[in-house]
Amino acid sequence: MSTSLIPADSVFGIVAVLALVGGLALWLEGRGIGRRISGVVMGILGGMLCSNLGLLPFASPIYDFIWSQALPFGLVLLLLHADLRRIFRETGRLLLAFLLGGIGTLIGALVAFALFRSFPHAAELSGIFAASYIGGSINFLATSRALGMDAFPDLQAGAMAADNLVMAGYFVLLFSLPEIPLLQRWFAGRSVAGADAEPAPVDACVEPSGALRPVDLLATLGLGALICLLGQKLAQLTPFAGAAILWTTALAVATATLASQPLQAIRGLQPIGLGLMQLFFVMIGAAASVPAVLRIGPVVVAFLAVLILIHLLFLLVAGWLLRLDLREIAAASNANCGGPTTAAAMALTKGWHPLVVPLILCGTFGYAIANFIGIALAGWLGA
């Protein structure tokens, strides 16, 4: 088994590399070729480079902590700038785009199964990947366990590695999608009549000027942690996947709406939140193991490539016919493939603030239904 220069249990080593790579990507974003590439995209690619060259591990308890704890915390900090009174006017048509993406995923899974049905456990993989690309990675794990793939650890590990690799590459594409000139021309004027060419940011809380004070840092940590804690406690009363992020989001938005004036006095909410989001995206890249995929073979990657290509093509064509905006399509696809947290992170880093709360709600809905869809599809295909 290959080892990395920095051990998987080295908290300081892993966090140092993730933070430095993420910071370098953000610094490059406004310089040279970086102006044409998102800092998030460069962070994902930098994370992939670090792990596949042996500097970082492909899996680590620190990654799990960032996914389960740091990401929701950062999301809370960013949502404390979202006044619900203004966001409700901007909910748009994200649910329609999200449902279209789910249909595209199902069609892609069926086509991929038809092409690779001779591959071992193709029916199970079809259901697992359908669940993963309707609701997110949390559904990959749940559906995999439900379909008994724990009995085949090599195949399960290879499928997870392929999922991470393809998802990392697809995130790079999604962040660049609204800037592709051909698509910009194709979708010119496709939004609903009267819609702005560029959605206005929802700046419910304006960041105060001045240096970050100790009281600002402590208030940020305390308020964010309290909201996350309450969200987790309320999730225990709501037994379905994704309940924690739903409750946490609701509490953060309620706080931003009811206490918008006091929150304006806290410095650093948005920079700290954006920094944690950047850390997460570098981690997504670091978890994409090319060697693990190659050990299983390119078939799983090809399987996923077919699924995701059909998902995107169906969403683009259907979205064009239904006059959806290209940003809505890219964000909804992210909610399908990565879940509510990655979609919200994308919207926040791209400045699409009115889409954040609708994306989280759509992604949480995907959490709730994707397991059932994936298991039913696998059973129908003969698993």
Task: Compare 18 and 365 and report the one with higher pLDDT.
Answer: 18
Q: Do residues 241 and 368 make contact, with C-beta atoms less than 8 angstroms apart? A: yes
Position 52: which residue type? Answer: N
320 found inside a domain: yes
CATH value at residue 354: 1.20.1530
Residue 240: per-residue pLDDT: 60
Residue 184: per-residue pLDDT: 84
* Residue 201 DSSP symbol: P
Q: Which residue has the tokens 């696998």?
A: 378
1 found inside a domain: no
Q: Do residues 328 and 186 make contact, with C-beta atoms less than 8 angstroms apart? A: no
In this structure, how many other beta carbons lie within 10 angstroms of the beta carbon of residue 120?
9
Q: What is the pLDDT of residues 102-117, one digit of tens each?
A: 999 999 999 999 999 9
Type and span of the H or E element at 182: helix 181-186
91 found inside a domain: yes
5 found inside a domain: no
Number of domains comprising the chain: 1
Residue 8: per-residue pLDDT: 92
Q: Token pair of 68, please?
A: 């389960």
Instruction: Check whether 326 has a pLDDT greater than 80.
Output: yes
Centroid of chain to Cα 29 = 20
Q: What is the pLDDT of residues 206-237, one digit of tens each?
A: 455 667 788 888 988 999 999 999 988 988 88
Query: What is the Cα Rg of the chain in Å?
Result: 20
Instruction: Check whether 200 has a pLDDT greater than 50.
Output: no
142 found inside a domain: yes
366 found inside a domain: yes
Residue 1: per-residue pLDDT: 46
Type and span of the H or E element at 59: none
Mean pLDDT, range 347-369, rounded to an integer = 81
Query: For 377, what's the count of Cα atoms within 13 Å in the CB-facing half-sphere?
Result: 31
Query: How far is 52 from 285, CA to CA, in rounded Å?
Result: 10
In this structure, how many other beta carbons lie within 10 angstroms of the beta carbon of residue 375?
21
| Helix 122-132, helix 356-380: angle, nearest 10 | 170
Instruction: Check whether 199 has a pLDDT greater than 50.
Output: no
Q: What is the pLDDT of residues 71-105, one digit of tens each?
A: 888 878 877 876 656 555 545 688 899 999 999 99
Q: Do residues 322 and 105 make contact, with C-beta atoms less than 8 angstroms apart? A: no
3 found inside a domain: no
In a 3-state reduction of DSSP, which class is residue 239? coil
| Helix 153-176, helix 39-52: angle, nearest 10 | 150
Which structural domain range is residue 267 located in? 11-380
* Residue 198 DSSP symbol: S
Q: What is the pLDDT of residues 162-189, one digit of tens each?
A: 887 888 889 889 988 888 888 888 887 6
Q: Grade residue 330 by pLDDT with cuts at 50, 70 and 90.
A: very high
Burial grade of 193 (CB within 10 A; 0-12, 13-18, 19 or more): exposed
